Amino acid sequence: MDKIIDGKAVSAKVKDSIRDEIAREGIKPCLAVILVGDDPASAVYVNNKKKACEYCGIESRSFELPENTTTEELLKLIDDLNRDKDVNGILLQLPVPGHIDSEKAIEAIRPEKDVDGFSTQSVGALSIGKDGFVSCTPAGIMELLHHYNVEVSGKNCVVMGRSNIVGKPMAMLLLRENGTVTVTHTKTKDIKSITSKADILVAAVGQPEMIDESYIKKDAVVIDVGIHRIDPETHDGRRLCGDVDTESVKDKASLYTPVPGGVGPMTIAMLMKNTLKAYKDQQGT
């Protein structure tokens, strides 16, 4: 049995389904993407989102703002996009330059256009089980678990990391499907005693290859959210890896996501899915 969870293949199926529905219905959803500054990684992500939009038949509008853009200027653009009835989704590429109030900018995006699922209203809806947009990376992980028929109900689920973008919404999604969920973080004592009992382990710790076989129990499902560029000797940014030491865990786990090609492709696929949902909700279809 192949233990690798193929995010590329699953994301392709999601995007194909979206493309087919858009073509069949003869519709044109529109996603506006805002990039502030010239962060190279962000530029790559934005370009990948543009390509996904083009593939799915979604109109992509790109707003690339200079590094010295003020919070007020960014808020003015967001307000204009909120008012534009032809724009269905608004995405602010993070991180933004340090002088910009990112929280204020995210909250300025109307909930019905918050396709990243980062606003207080979106997170609140998720926490009480109401309909709304779910942060794309956790939503993509759930899609992977469903595709590979991983049962969540009644399972011990451990989420390593408590960020607002991944850790917290991930825990809520697993809880929604009746998983027994534990969240570990930097203040958690004896982490291995917790993670080694997990049937499903989601690693979002932000540390290259920190999670080795000593953190997991036999036949656990291991989801690696991390992405880092390191060099085996100098750590100067030459090799892609995740938070999980894949070579160490691959024989012990029942299923695991690789880096690259695991969770990453799903994030963009779910953004496309959220954009289509935004269009349909706004059209009342």
Tell me what percent of the residues of the chain surpass a pLDDT of 70.
97
Flag whether 150 is in a domain: yes
**196 is in which domain, residue-wise?**
136-264
Domain contains 17: no
Model confidence over 138-154: pLDDT tens digits?
A: 999 999 999 999 999 99
Global confidence as pTM: 0.94
Q: Residue 232: pLDDT band by 50, 70, 90 thresholds?
A: low
Residue 125 domain flag: no
- Statement to judge: residues 54 and 156 lie in one domain: no
| SS3 at position 55 | helix
Q: Which residues are catalytic, by number? A: 49, 93, 116
Condensed to tens digits (0 to 9), the pLDDT of residues 42-71 reads 888 899 999 999 999 999 999 999 999 999
Quote the number of domains for the chain: 2
Given 57, 82, 113, the domain boundary residue is 113
Are 108 and 145 found together in one domain? no
Peptide bond into 97 cis (omega under 30): no
For residue 79, give both structure tokens.
């307000």
Q: Are 7 and 262 in contact (CB under 8 A)?
A: yes
Least confident range of 17-26, 138-147, 233-242, 275-284: 233-242
Mean local confidence (pLDDT), 176-190:
97
With H, G, I as helix, E, B as strand and everything else as coil, classify residue 270.
helix
Better-scored residue on pLDDT, 170 or 227: 170
E strand intervals along 154-281: 156-160, 180-184, 200-203, 221-224, 228-230, 239-241, 255-256
Q: Is residue 277 in some structural domain? A: no
The 10s digit of each residue's pLDDT in 100-122 is 999 999 999 999 999 999 999 99
